[in-house]
């Protein structure tokens, strides 16, 4: 059995000037996850939201849950770590 690790970093959900839209990020992630086996682990390491804004986290939650559900990724196989842009003073 093979275990796959998919590492995602700096999606900056909610960034009005982002390189990729939420839909494009979702499409790319779903395509990658559909190429993996059932033993995939997903690591989301940092800068989830644009400037730590609540809207970005809501967008991330909605988009990522949709992708993970579509690819049948179990929640206990997702590891999330905040980045420097996720910490707001």
Q: Tens digit of pLDDT for each residue in 5-64?
A: 999 999 999 999 988 888 999 999 999 999 987 789 999 998 999 999 999 999 999 999
Model-level pTM? 0.85
3-state secondary structure of 38: coil
**CA-wise closest residue to 36 among 65, 74, 80, 76:** 74
Q: How confident is the model at residue 70 (pLDDT cuts 50, 70, 90)?
A: very high
**CA-wise closest residue to 85 among 11, 7, 17:** 11
Longest alpha-carbon distance in the chain:
44
What is the residue whose two structure tokens read 């939420």?
22
């Amino acid at each position: 059995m093979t275990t796959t690790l998919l590492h995602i970093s700096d999606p900056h959900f909610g960034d009005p000037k982002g390189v990729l839209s939420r839909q494009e990020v979702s499409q790319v992630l779903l395509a990658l996850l559909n190429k993996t086996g059932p033993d995939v682990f997903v690591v989301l390491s940092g800068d989830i939201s644009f400037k730590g804004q609540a809207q970005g986290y809501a967008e991330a939650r909605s988009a990522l849950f949709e992708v993970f559900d579509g690819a049948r990724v179990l929640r206990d196989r997702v590891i999330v770590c905040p980045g420097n842009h996720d910490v707001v003073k």
